[in-house]
Amino acid sequence: MVDAMERPGERRGEVIFALATGTGRAAIAIMRASGSGAQEVLAALCRGRLPAPRHASLRALHHDGDHLDDAMVLWLPGPRSYTGEDGFELHLHAGPAVIDRVAMALTALGARPAEPGEFTRRAVQAGRLDLLQAEAIADLVDAESQSQRQQALAQADGALSRVYEGWSARLKTLLAHQEALIDFPDEDLPEAVELSLARTLDGLRDDLRGHLSDRRGEIVRRGLTVVIAGAPNVGKSSLLNYLAGYDAAIVTHRAGTTRDVIAIDWLFHGVRLRLVDTAGLRETDDEIEAEGIKRALFHVEHADLVVHVMAGEAEAPLRPDALIVSNKIDLHPPVGAGLGLSVQTGEGMVDFEAALAERITALTSGVGAPLTRARHRAGIEEALLYLDQAREATWPEVRGEALRLAMRALGRLTGQVDVDSLLDVIFGQFCIGK
């Protein structure tokens, strides 16, 4: 991990503090602090009565003759702390007056309010986390679904880091073999060395391509987009309302009622979905409806899953992978090879939800740790580009340089090489207190 990670004017050791719990009416508020002077600050608040390390103890907090609060106090000396520095937590009564007065006391004792992500940034600087794990902490704080929580926990535990570190180790071995071919050109090195290098390089390239083709992590992190599409008046908006549990879209017997995209967020089987209702697809001279159809087709093209609703008449599937639904079976026989249902009566809805759950599971489940962010994708694409160049190179020196650049691209993902330009972007997305 490089040392040049501090912002201009930042002193890594100074004591920072922030509220780690949310604002609003609550019983307890947790104020956390970190920095090389944390012990002196805490001792001043507790009048010298520090609790035993990593043991919660009740203490009366004082400053400048004022009794601030009776709080549960945790003393967390480094390096066995989240940031690797000395730190402490104050479990306060959550009244705004208490929180404000304790913050004023901390400031008077030389501490300063933390910036967004500064605690986790210090953990990265101390080598307690790598950048992939730090990003996972932010994802865990933002997790709205069980799938997002599980994915963030796995990445925070180092699942994705281990994949990239394994690739880096293979690259290091490749580079060592390549250096041997460069440094000892006159030696009678076995031909197997060159063949082994080529096979290993090809295997690594295949692994990176497979990783890029796996979009599970990105889908889970942002939520899965499910688009409901089909001809006018087949029950698309009724299906959206049924799934949402309320009237999110206007429903009438008039064809073409929906003219714009209507989207709602929905948690389904532990996965965050974005349900999108679209305008009915048909030929029209109406300028406004035509724009709605154009938008509908755009969403169909970019959806993770399309639910193609039909009623009465069979149509060609909008996409080969679309989930076909034949609605209004209380009025018409089912059409096509899709699931028959009636949103009006509820018939077939249990089977539809089971089929929907099966499709969503297929899109979000799998083996191995998937990449979760555009930054990861860009880094892997860059590494693969250099590996391709290495495979095509005829000069050993050129191949060796391409392998070094590939290692550097992978190293930037975890923070093993200089990533100073990324830090403000990554940690600026964090909440204050984390």
Find out whether 264 and 245 touch, Cβ atoms under 8 Å. Answer: no
- Is 238 flagged in the annotation as binding? yes
- Is 89 flagged in the annotation as binding? yes
Distance CA 388, CA 347 (A): 54
- Is 235 flagged in the annotation as binding? yes
pLDDT of residue 7: 46
pLDDT of residue 335: 83
Task: Name the average pLDDT for the chain.
Answer: 86
- Is 280 flagged in the annotation as binding? yes
The DSSP 8-state label assigned to residue 277 in this structure reads: E
Distance CA 296, CA 294 (A): 5
Q: Which residue positions in the chain have pLDDT lower than 70?
A: 1-13, 181-193, 247-260, 417-434
- Is 254 flagged in the annotation as binding? yes
End-to-end CA distance of the chain: 21
pLDDT of residue 5: 42
pLDDT of residue 53: 96
- Is 328 flagged in the annotation as binding? no
- Is 257 flagged in the annotation as binding? yes
pLDDT of residue 399: 87
pLDDT of residue 251: 47
Q: What is the pTM of this model?
A: 0.80
- Is 372 flagged in the annotation as binding? no
pLDDT of residue 40: 96
Distance CA 420, CA 4 (A): 7
3 state SS of 403: helix
- Is 278 flagged in the annotation as binding? yes
pLDDT 10s digits, 192-215: 667 778 888 999 999 999 999 999
pLDDT of residue 2: 38
- Is 107 flagged in the annotation as binding? no
pLDDT of residue 183: 62
For residue 23, CA distances in Å to 255, 333, 432 come to: 48, 56, 12
pLDDT of residue 22: 82
Which candidate, 27, 34, 20, 193, places its Cα nearest to that of 112? 34
The DSSP 8-state label assigned to residue 279 in this structure reads: P
